[in-house]
Structure 1
Amino acid sequence: MRPKTLQQRIIIFILIPVFFILAGMGWISYLYTRNAVIKQWSETAIAKLQRSAHMIDMRLGKPKDLLLMLKDSYNQDQSLMIQTFIIEQLRKTEGVVEVNHKLIENFNMKPNPPGMHGMVKSNSMHVDRMENFQLSLPRYNAALSGETISLSTDYIDENGKKTGQIEVVISFQDLIEQISKTTWWKSENAFLIDNEGNILIGTQLSRDAYDPEKPVKFGRTDPLEKETMAALKQNPYGTLFGPGHPPDEISGYYHLNEAPWSLVLISPGRQVLKSILNFRLYYFVVGFLSILGVILFIRVSISGTTAAIKKVSEAANDLANGFFTEPLPVLSGDEVGMLTGNFNKMTKQLKERMELKEAINLAMEVQQSLLPPAHFSYGNIEISGCSVYCDETGGDYFDIIEFPEDEGKICVVVGDVVGHGIGAALLMATTRALLRSRVTQKGSLSQIMNDVNKLLCMDVRDTGRFVTLFLLMVDVKKGEVQWVRAGHEPAMMYNPEQDKIIELKGKGIVLGLDRRWDYTQTVYGPVPKGTVILISTDGAWEVENDSGKRLGKKRVEEVLQQSVSLSPAKIVESIVSETRQFRGEVRQNDDITLLVLKFRENPL
């Protein structure tokens, strides 16, 4: 159903789109804020896990450091005293409940001095390295009435043979005591797991139910836990989101440095995003009620305005049918009154525009009459050209000038005045007149261009307007071409002997810019039979299609090379057809002028 009244249009085309825009903005704001909250939660969770992991790493790091010091002591003088001291330090380390040595039987060793029980029996024992640091799962120690873990490593001699093992027994409760007292550990769903997925401790896992022989597996059934386990193998820390919008659950994980363990934190997504979800609900409810209120207010207040607009509409209908009525009375000073006054002004200006349109049509006829015939022959040369304007009048032009007193020579010129419309057309006519009057006098092409430039500079001065020009003269007797280029695109010449396109270049700035500029002419010859020369304005290859892509100069060259066997008229038609086909329904945005010279097969 199409809207019939102004009220319906305002509701359909203004209020409803505004509603959807506000809803969209609200949704985008929600997504942005949600992502910011999730990112903040992720950073906070990683920071919590990192601090807690550091607590455990600090507890495990000291025994490991002492074990490494013990390894280095075996190959030093007075190693027995150093070993005794290090092991005593191990026993005194916080959380360490026991230190045990195990040596390989039949190992060559000497008796210990008195008082060195449980120590390595000979300072002649050589240890090359310690390896295979191993950390056991928590086990219940009946003697200590609590859980412990074992940190063990092997003694390896210089031959790579295992000579013994040292084991450090650490209280598991003492190891996790600090993290178990944190607020987030008590309130969140958190786990300490090993690399195999065994849960060492969890906030929702009873320690009485923990069995080291049959530990509970993390990620057995829950998809997010499985993804977390997989991510732990790839990255030392990070966050993951479960399915749904918002996600059902969010997990954060952090891998310890001193143990093959990881801390994992899992929180419900709605709990993390609770404030954002409430904001979303309030935003849409309030927005919907506000739109309804605005619709009712507009319906009541606009009824008087529509009557006044209806009168303007009726007068506009009469104007569309060609009837210029008397000015409408302006009865108010509001927008409707301004609309009525502007309508009266528009009616007056429309009459003036119609008169101006007639004048422009006349100017177009005059400009078309200034162009030479579309097809022209001079001896062995065929010439065809055309100008396709994007407005009624334009600044492009081409001309063919004969030399009455110097047979065997003919000039062709293509020019492009900056801009479009009446102003450009007037400057084009001026340039044409100056060039025609000067060409008929004696002088080289460069002298002709210098004189035209000086006169044109006097006309345009500081207006910012200028003209690009390509002036080419064919000397039939000498079989050569001469040209001067004044800021114009180089002409394209097809050379049949080389079977390729050659650009006719040359130095020279635009006309009307610098009256002191000295133009130079370029000569090419002899011209082979079958040569085709195309002089064009840039509008031919700057045509754009509906995608904003330009036709390009290379494509124009391809069309020219494919059409060299045709007549100049057909070549011009082929290029114009290519530009129209390329732009499709897109409006032409620049004037196009093409001039083609073809040297017949007969020798010059």
Structure 2
Amino acid sequence: MSTAQNHCLDLATILQGKMLPAFAPDILGLNVFGDCHYATKLGGDFFDYFDFREACCRSDTRLRLVVGDAAGHGVNAALVMTTVRAYIRGRAMQPGDIHEVVNDVNKLLTKDLMYSGNFVSMFFLDLSMLDNTLSWVVAGHDPALLFDSNTDTFELLSGQGIPLGVEPEYTYPINSREALQPGQILVLCTDGIWETTNNQGQQFGKDRLRQIIRNHSGDSMKELVGTVYADLKSFSGQHPLQDDATIVAIKAVETQAE
């Protein structure tokens, strides 16, 4: 690769890094943190938060976020990632439930990706502490992990839905339950986390991830996410990441009465 090509790649890497959230949202009753590590300079993973205090809802008790994974990694996946991120950002701040958002984004993305072999998996979450509701839409993505430190149990937040960019008229269902309660942690990941391999070809696996969540449930979510990546690095040794790896953790915390 020429010097000019390397320079362009470096600039693209810087630009893509700026597309990931620089700060976690400050939501009453929640402790939130996310991070993303790419297998190469550019990648297809992304996560994003939507701040309703700057939009129509004017609420500091509501969190809407997305975790996505464009197929593959590298330049091709990065181009798809920037496209779907722009579509989601443009639609998510407008009126409508999250399944309407996902339906509209899928129609747009399918026009770009149909018959290309490219697609995007996504988990879209809407959490309102004021209304005590947690809603989510799944588009071909792995379930989120919900850990309750009060009962030492895990629950999967799963749902039906094909990846984005495959079928323009597909209708994504919405799933719901009560919002997180103090002591509960919700973790959203891409498969690069548990599919990370070591020099013996063993995968990091979801059991290791669950154990980290259990052992560090008393930590801040920034500390918990940092521990996951530190353990991934220790586990893989000299074996580099084969896929992009993203994790967002949300913990419900007690709020002090005024």
TM-score band w.r.t. shorter chain: over 0.9
CA distance in 2: counterparts of 1:542 and 1:402, whole angstroms: 31
Hey, what does 1:157 align to over in structure 2?
none
Misfit runs of 4+, over 3 Å: none
1:501 Cα deviation from its structure 2 partner: 1.3
1:594 Cα deviation from its structure 2 partner: 0.7
Hey, what does 2:16 align to over in structure 1?
367
Hey, what does 1:418 align to over in structure 2?
71
Q: Secondary structure at the match of 1:469?
A: strand
CA distance in 1: counterparts of 2:25 and 2:200, whole angstroms: 38
Hey, what does 1:127 align to over in structure 2?
none
CA distance in 1: counterparts of 2:23 and 2:235, whole angstroms: 24
Q: Aligned pair 1:598/2:255, yes or no?
A: no
1:480 Cα deviation from its structure 2 partner: 2.0
1:358 corresponds to which of 4, 7, 10: 7
- 1:547–1:599 CA distance, 2 compared to 1 (3 A): same
2:29 corresponds to which of 352, 372, 380: 380
Which runs of 5 or more structure 2 residues have no equivalent in the other structure? none
1:507 corresponds to which of 130, 155, 160: 160
Q: How does 1:32-181 map to 2 (within 5 A)?
A: none
RMSD: 1.4
Q: Aligned pair 1:455/2:111, yes or no?
A: no
Q: How does 1:133-532 map to 2 (within 5 A)?
A: 350=1, 353-403=2-52, 404-406=55-57, 407=59, 408-532=61-185
Hey, what does 1:307 align to over in structure 2?
none
1:498 Cα deviation from its structure 2 partner: 2.6
Using the size of structure 2 for normalisation, the TM-score is 0.94
- Matched AA of 1:410: L
Q: Secondary structure at the match of 2:196?
A: coil
Cα deviation 1:445-465 (Å, max 9, x = unaligned): 111111110000001121100
Using the size of structure 1 for normalisation, the TM-score is 0.41
Larger Rg: 1
1:526 Cα deviation from its structure 2 partner: 4.2
Q: How many residues align?
A: 253
CA distance in 2: counterparts of 1:554 and 1:374, whole angstroms: 29
Q: Aligned pair 1:554/2:207, yes or no?
A: yes
1:603 Cα deviation from its structure 2 partner: 8.0
Q: Is the 8 A contact 1:497 1:528 kept in 2?
A: no
Cα deviation 1:340-365 (Å, max 9, x = unaligned): xxxxxxxxxx5xx2211110100011
- 1:603–1:476 CA distance, 2 compared to 1 (3 A): farther
Q: Is the 8 A contact 2:102 2:172 kept in 1?
A: yes
Larger fraction in helix:
1
CA distance in 2: counterparts of 1:585 and 1:526, whole angstroms: 41
CA distance in 2: counterparts of 1:603 and 1:489, whole angstroms: 35
CA distance in 1: counterparts of 2:187 and 2:87, whole angstroms: 24
- Matched AA of 1:377: D
CA distance in 2: counterparts of 1:602 and 1:370, whole angstroms: 31
With a CA cutoff of 8 Å and minimum separation of 6, indicate the structure with the bigger relative contact order.
Answer: 2
Cα deviation 1:452-481 (Å, max 9, x = unaligned): 100000011211000000000111211221
Cα deviation 1:420-452 (Å, max 9, x = unaligned): 111111111111110111111111111111111
CA distance in 2: counterparts of 1:552 and 1:460, whole angstroms: 31
- Matched AA of 1:405: C
Q: Secondary structure at the match of 1:542?
A: coil
- Matched AA of 1:520: P
Identity %: 31
- 1:493–1:548 CA distance, 2 compared to 1 (3 A): same
Cα deviation 1:36-69 (Å, max 9, x = unaligned): xxxxxxxxxxxxxxxxxxxxxxxxxxxxxxxxxx
CA distance in 2: counterparts of 1:477 and 1:562, whole angstroms: 29
Q: Secondary structure at the match of 2:125?
A: strand
Q: Is the 8 A contact 1:531 1:598 kept in 2?
A: yes
- Matched AA of 1:589: Q
CA distance in 2: counterparts of 1:375 and 1:576, whole angstroms: 17
CA distance in 2: counterparts of 1:387 and 1:370, whole angstroms: 11
Hey, what does 2:197 align to over in structure 1?
544
Cα deviation 1:239-296 (Å, max 9, x = unaligned): xxxxxxxxxxxxxxxxxxxxxxxxxxxxxxxxxxxxxxxxxxxxxxxxxxxxxxxxxx
Q: Is the 8 A contact 2:25 2:51 kept in 1?
A: no
- 1:569–1:389 CA distance, 2 compared to 1 (3 A): same
Q: Secondary structure at the match of 1:382?
A: strand
Q: Is the 8 A contact 2:122 2:141 kept in 1?
A: yes
Q: Secondary structure at the match of 2:25?
A: strand
